[in-house]
Structure 1
Amino acid sequence: MHGSPLTGWLLVVLCAAVGAYCLRRTACAPPGRRRAAGQDALMGIGMAAMAVPGSALAPRPWTTAVFVVVFVLAAVRAVFPLRHAGTHPHHVVGALAMVYMALAMQAAGPHGGHTGAGLPLVTGGLLAYFLVYSLRSGVRLVATGAGTAVAGGGEGGRGELVAGCRVAMGIGMFAMLLGM
């Protein structure tokens, strides 16, 4: 992750906390929501791993390959729900953004950070997407109070927390892309 180590570690903590909460949510979520909770958990944990400053996860061919395989499979799984109706377009975009960032990090090399990596048009499009997603979801979360419009309801009092986690991950993704 390019930028100050403090920013990187703050992103790690935020994304790891969100990922851990969503992983815990998979165990107690109703069957219809378990899949989305798992996708959120994978995204949070993956973002945390990618944001670690100067770690053993620095761009190396094996780490890039792991990120690419895991998140391409996550995107395919989000597009083709096996037993559930509907797709999760946000999960597809998020997973493909993770693939894009992993490849850009590899192209920049171990000492180059993210600066100058990636295609400006793709990076700009993803920045715009995550900015609009985060702002729209955040405004809806504040406006609804109960979080039902953002989280889809059905999770009792946890709807606001789930929606807040998704907003936090959107902001985190925006910050990571901004560092490219």
Structure 2
Amino acid sequence: MSSASLAAPDPDADPLAPRLVDEAECVASVLLAIFVAHHIGATHVSWAAFTGYMVMRGYPLETLRRALLRIIGTALGALACLAVLESPLGGNMVVLAMAMALAGTVSLYGAITGRHAYAWLFLGLTFAMMLYDRVAMPLADPRAFAVMRMIETLAGTAACMAVSLASAWTLRRRWPAIRAPKPQGVGWRPDALLH
């Protein structure tokens, strides 16, 4: 094997190198999220792993932005659902169905049209998960579910940030990520509301 074959690859000669770094970051983030979730006692480790995969972006500031949106959306969805479930009418199936319809409509509209679509998406997902959990298991404590959901989200986002920062100081110096365009809000969209 020649010394030329042992040298680091030329980024211009290998246009896939930044994508390979993306993949390595995702794998490392998921593995670290699983490790962290196990060590902090998460009950649904897969949610921490999923967060570790979905939040990762090529630049630490993009990863941080996405992590904050995921945390905010998850927290708001959990709080909104707790408000419904702990209200005097929280056991009424008609009220729960109406709350799900409203939360689903608002969060889907925000996810389709909003500048912070990722937060809207997780507001709706968390609301739906908690509400359906209550319907399936009426005696389960929704506060425990909300707390665990936040713990799992925080484990995954912490893993993402750690890997993103480590990569920025090492791999990304040689193979910069491809920058994504900044998200743009689209304003009032009646077709999105109809959707």
* TM bucket normalised to smaller: 0.3 to 0.5
Q: TM-score, normalised by structure 2?
A: 0.32
Higher CA-based Rg: 2
TM-score by length of 1: 0.35
Greater RCO, 1 or 2 (C-alpha within 8 Å, sep 6+): 2
